Chain A
């Protein structure tokens, strides 16, 4: 459905993407992970026909993204990474305007989505909060129910509750047979929605993997505080990967399933256990590894 072949697009400052190759099958949800400035948006701008590739091609639904971008727009819904609207319009006028520009009369899907995302479109866009603007962008992309969705960091600015609604929305769209391409630096979001994920770093596609496999590779850090000093020694002699001990507080790294950790710590008395939020940098470091650097 989406095919990227040897795509290279470099900016004058040396940034951009180099020799990208991947494809997204029909009905698949594909995550595109990478830190800021890795080339995620550049890839998407090529897909949308905003940039002319230096070399290589990309296509959606068999149509070339550069030469036939107007045709592609018939089947694609796009959420830009940086959202800029026609500020003076109200949300509803904007959605109507887009509908007219697409030559679409039916607004029933838009009504359903307004309900789902609890968006009040009567406000002027420039007076909307960042999250509300983001919801409007989601609506603008999906109101015509296109079969292909291309989202550039779609949940930026959404509160955790709405993020959840959005994740469920993507899963629903997937069930309805949509092909989805999501760029994100939020590992969790990709984890919950995608079948496969590509990892991009400094303009190069480092890896494309099944999300389940990525999960296996994911290394998490638990912080465990023990009730008794003497238990520290028990854990120290276990096979757990202990990173740091600070009195009764221990930092333990877990690769893949936490099953072994749980079984091990069940033998001691635990006062507190917390999961260290995975810094994005760390997630990436794992996949990129020193050898890639």
Chain B
């Protein structure tokens, strides 16, 4: 890994990292601080008002059993996926193909650093970047919930949920990273990366609409978001070892393939 390049990537991405972290932390803290008896009753009333399926599509159709369930339903099951989606489409594009497209990559490669080292550094940056975001999110959420209502949050379940969220975000980023390494044009890379992720997101939303039952289950199982079923994770219905291992395989597969393609391709400058 090239430390100067890593620092450079951090310098050029810290603002976007800060904005997204503040946005996610702010929203989660808001949700956590909203939780009380009253809101549960309000939600019961809302769920009765809407036709079935409509709220299910955005994962908000069930009455939360406790604070952890509340956070899982109203943040991790839908909103976090949307926020991460927007963020991880952008990040790997900025890290690789943008430098290739505008020619600044030629300067990076004119230093005694191999293509593999450059691409691996950018991948490592991606891991750390999303890591900082998730650590901030998790630790602030735990701290706030402990301060507001000590013991209300099921911390081990919450940590496991955040780990799965982190790995899912990284898996999404890896898919875009692969396209970022493959294409020489920012536009094509962004188009293929976002097409893949948005498709996953749509499939998962359709699946959620039918509670992942029957044909809906088949549709949503194609999506990467199937590996981030927040409520099933906190209720212990899913073997997290297997779930996280699959995510790790996706991450290493796409990052590895991206680096290999990047090493072998013709560059346009």
Inter-chain CA distance A176–B104, complex, in Å, is: 30
A140 and B109 within 8 A (CB):
no
Choose from A73, A83, A87, A103 the contact partner of B110 (Cβ within 8 Å): A73
Q: Closest Cβ of chain A: how far from B19's Cβ, in Å?
A: 18
Inter-chain CA distance A82–B104, complex, in Å, is: 10
Q: Which residues of B contact A84 (CB under 8 A)?
A: 102-104, 106, 269
Contact with B along A25-59 (1 / 0, CB 8 A): 00000000000000000000100111110000000
**A161 in contact (CB, < 8 A):** no
Contact with A along B17-28 (1 / 0, CB 8 A): 000000000000
B116, closest chain A residue (CB): A70
Q: Closest Cβ of chain A: how far from B44's Cβ, in Å?
A: 52
Binds A, one of B1-9, B126-134, B146-154, B187-195: B1-9
Chain A CB within 10 A, most for which of B102, B112, B113, B269: B112
**B108 in contact (CB, < 8 A):** yes
Q: Which residues of A contact B37 (CB under 8 A)?
A: none
A85 and B109 within 8 A (CB):
no
Within 8 A of B (CB), among A53-82: 69-71, 73-74, 76, 78, 80, 82
A101 and B108 within 8 A (CB):
yes
Q: Per DSSP, are chain A's interface residues mostly helix, strand or loop, or mixed? A: loop
Choose from B12, B112, B117, B266 the contact partner of A102 (Cβ within 8 Å): B112
B103, closest chain A residue (CB): A84
**A86 in contact (CB, < 8 A):** yes
B269 and A73 within 8 A (CB):
no
**B111 in contact (CB, < 8 A):** yes
**A100 in contact (CB, < 8 A):** yes
Inter-chain CA distance A254–B60, complex, in Å, is: 88
Within 8 A of A (CB), among B1-53: 2, 4-5, 8, 12
Q: Which residues of B contact A51 (CB under 8 A)?
A: 266-267
Q: How large is the interface on B (under 10, 10 to 19, 20 to 34, 35 or more residues)?
A: 20 to 34
B111 and A50 within 8 A (CB):
no
A49 and B109 within 8 A (CB):
yes
**A287 in contact (CB, < 8 A):** no
Q: Which residues of B contact A140 (CB under 8 A)?
A: 107, 110
B106, closest chain A residue (CB): A80
Inter-chain CA distance A71–B113, complex, in Å, is: 8
Q: Closest Cβ of chain A: how far from B5's Cβ, in Å?
A: 6
Q: Closest Cβ of chain A: how far from B160's Cβ, in Å?
A: 39
- Given the interface pairs A50-B269, A51-B267, A101-B5, the reply to whether A86 lies near B107 with Cβ below 8 Å is yes
- Given the interface pairs A50-B266, A50-B267, A101-B4, the reply to whether A82 lies near B103 with Cβ below 8 Å is yes
A68, closest chain B residue (CB): B114
A102, closest chain B residue (CB): B111
Inter-chain CA distance A89–B115, complex, in Å, is: 23
A70 and B103 within 8 A (CB):
no
Q: Which residues of B contact A141 (CB under 8 A)?
A: 110
Within 8 A of A (CB), among B201-219: none
Inter-chain CA distance A48–B103, complex, in Å, is: 14
- Given the interface pairs A50-B266, A51-B266, A70-B117, the reply to whether A86 lies near B104 with Cβ below 8 Å is yes
Within 8 A of A (CB), among B231-269: 264-267, 269
A52 and B111 within 8 A (CB):
no
Q: Which residues of B contact A70 (CB under 8 A)?
A: 112-115, 117
B266, closest chain A residue (CB): A51
Inter-chain CA distance A13–B17, complex, in Å, is: 42
**A98 in contact (CB, < 8 A):** yes
Choose from A52, A69, A98 the contact partner of B266 (Cβ within 8 Å): A52
B104 and A85 within 8 A (CB):
yes
- Given the interface pairs A71-B112, A103-B112, the reply to whether A98 lies near B107 with Cβ below 8 Å is yes
Q: Closest Cβ of chain B: how far from A251's Cβ, in Å?
A: 43
Within 8 A of B (CB), among A91-120: 97-98, 100-103
Q: Closest Cβ of chain A: how far from B265's Cβ, in Å?
A: 8
Chain A CB within 10 A, most for which of B106, B114, B117, B267: B106
- Given the interface pairs A70-B117, A84-B104, the reply to whether A100 lies near B267 with Cβ below 8 Å is no
A69 and B102 within 8 A (CB):
no
Choose from A71, A76, A86, A97 the contact partner of B4 (Cβ within 8 Å): A97
B112 and A74 within 8 A (CB):
yes
Within 8 A of B (CB), among A131-152: 140-141
A100 and B4 within 8 A (CB):
yes
Within 8 A of A (CB), among B92-141: 102-104, 106-115, 117
What are 13 residue pairs bridging A and B, where the CB atoms are less than 8 Å apart in the complex?
A48-B106, A50-B109, A52-B265, A70-B114, A70-B115, A70-B117, A73-B110, A73-B113, A78-B110, A80-B269, A97-B4, A100-B4, A101-B4
Given A49-B109, A97-B4, 6 additional A-B pairs, CB 8 A = A50-B106, A70-B113, A78-B106, A83-B103, A84-B103, A87-B102
Which residues of chain B have a CB within 8 Å of any CB of chain A? Answer: 2, 4-5, 8, 12, 102-104, 106-115, 117, 264-267, 269
Which residues of chain A have a CB within 8 Å of any CB of chain B? Answer: 45, 48-52, 69-71, 73-74, 76, 78, 80, 82-88, 97-98, 100-103, 140-141
